[in-house]
């Protein structure tokens, strides 16, 4: 095992709510990602997966959001208490991020060549022509056809898949150590999704960038992940290698998600596995295990006391009182 490029320890992200105690969006979360590795963070909306990525780059909405506790170590350096100018030097250079909807992350009044070149100029201070050369090189790298012409086009002239390629080009222009990808293919059609996933995988192989891929889609996880972290209501409920998670999904929530998702070849007419109820609101987290109100295995203990993480073999961790080391049937 190579050593971790990004190491997050005991992260707690909270939002002030006015009078009451702060709402905790991410609770005691620890994970790491190694060079050249893809870690997938999976969960439904409201589980805190996007806020985790925003916390790493300290992009939480101000003034309400803040990191309440924990450390974010990039090559051993803690990002949590860096002064603002230093964290700005890291964003887009050592750690960059791509979002679900590229149209809202691109500047509509600048051509894409300039947007990519600006990133290079800000971070590497190269002369402008050299920055534009890098922009062209990046467009080639992400396989945009006719890159010389596209350099001078504006975001609205590009298709959704093309825009996401531009985002990736911009994110990788300074050869980051870590790429945070937040639902990068969710807004795309399935054939375009396949193109983008292949592209991320190929570029990662060439550059050795560590990728943290945030998604709600277990299919994307199965395609991309080396390791998987399952989140529910702000906490890690299960973690393991992709094989461990897909061979023996163990937390009742992970198993519920797998059963709820119709997949090709899954047959017709059978009932899908339902997880009753909905994800609890940020301000109404149940005491004890947050999943207990929706869990068929829940006991009184689950409802009163939050379970810690247990190793159930290999690198497979779960947080559950009822399941230990495999599948009760």
Binding mask 216-235 for another protein (x = CB under 8 A): xxxxx-xx-x----------
Q: Which of 70, 252, 256, 307 binds another protein (CB under 8 A)?
A: 256
- Longest Cα–Cα distance in the chain: 66
The answer to whether residues 174 and 119 touch, using CB atoms and an 8 Å cutoff, is yes
Binding mask 275-314 for another protein (x = CB under 8 A): xx-xx-----------------------------------
Binding mask 194-213 for another protein (x = CB under 8 A): xx-xx---------------
Q: What is the DSSP string of 62-124?
A: TTTEEEEEEEEEETTEE-TT--HHHHHHHBTTTEEEE-S-HHHHS-TTS-HHHHHHHHHHHHH
Task: Tell me: does residue 257 bind another protein (CB under 8 A).
Answer: yes
Task: Tell me: does residue 162 bind another protein (CB under 8 A).
Answer: yes
Task: Tell me: does residue 327 bind another protein (CB under 8 A).
Answer: no
The number of helices, as runs of H, and strands, as runs of E, in the chain is 12, 12
Query: Could you tell me how many residues of this chain bind another protein (CB under 8 A)?
Result: 48
Among the listed ranges 2-10, 107-115, 120-128, 193-201, the one in contact with another protein (CB under 8 A) is: 193-201
* b/e burial code for range 9-37 (CB count within 10 A of at least 16 → b): bebbbbbeeeeeebbbbbbbbbbbbbeeb
Task: Tell me: does residue 156 bind another protein (CB under 8 A).
Answer: no
**Which candidate, 131, 153, 163, 328, places its Cα nearest to that of 249?**
328
Q: Which is nearer to another protein, 78 or 273 (CB)?
A: 273
Q: Which residues bind another protein (CB under 8 A)?
A: 44-45, 145, 159-162, 189-195, 197-198, 216-220, 222-223, 225, 242-243, 246, 256-257, 259-269, 271-276, 278-279
């Amino acid at each position: 095992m190579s050593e971790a490029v990004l190491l997050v320890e005991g992260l707690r992200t909270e939002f002030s709510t006015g009078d009451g105690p702060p709402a905790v969006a991410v609770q005691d979360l620890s994970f790491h990602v190694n060079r050249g590795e893809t870690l997938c963070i999976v969960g439904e909306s409201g589980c805190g997966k996007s806020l985790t990525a925003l916390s790493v780059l300290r992009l939480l909405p101000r003034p309400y959001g803040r990191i309440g506790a924990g450390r974010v170590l990039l090559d051993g350096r803690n990002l949590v208490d860096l002064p603002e100018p230093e964290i700005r030097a890291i964003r887009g250079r050592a750690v960059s991020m791509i979002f679900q909807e590229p149209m809202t992350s691109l500047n509509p009044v600048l051509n894409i060549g300039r947007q990519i070149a600006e990133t290079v100029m800000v971070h590497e201070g190269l002369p402008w022509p050299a920055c534009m050369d890098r922009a062209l090189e990046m467009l080639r790298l992400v396989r945009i056809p006719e890159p010389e012409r596209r350099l001078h086009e504006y975001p609205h002239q590009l298709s959704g898949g093309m825009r996401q390629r531009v985002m990736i080009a911009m994110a990788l222009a300074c050869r980051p150590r870590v790429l945070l990808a937040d639902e990068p293919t969710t807004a795309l059609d399935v054939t375009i999704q396949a193109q983008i996933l292949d592209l991320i995988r190929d570029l990662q192989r060439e550059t050795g960038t560590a990728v943290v891929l945030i998604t709600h889609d277990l299919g994307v996880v199965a395609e991309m992940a080396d390791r998987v972290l399952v989140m529910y209501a702000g906490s890690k409920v299960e973690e393991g290698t992709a094989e461990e998670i897909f061979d023996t999904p163990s937390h009742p929530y992970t198993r519920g998600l797998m059963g709820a998702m119709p997949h090709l070849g899954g047959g017709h007419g059978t009932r899908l596995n339902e997880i009753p109820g909905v994800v609890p609101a940020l301000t109404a987290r149940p005491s004890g295990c947050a999943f207990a109100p929706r869990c068929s295995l829940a006991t009184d203990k689950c409802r009163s006391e939050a379970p810690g993480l247990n190793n159930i073999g290999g690198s497979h961790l779960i947080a559950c009182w009822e399941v230990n080391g495999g599948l009760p049937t």
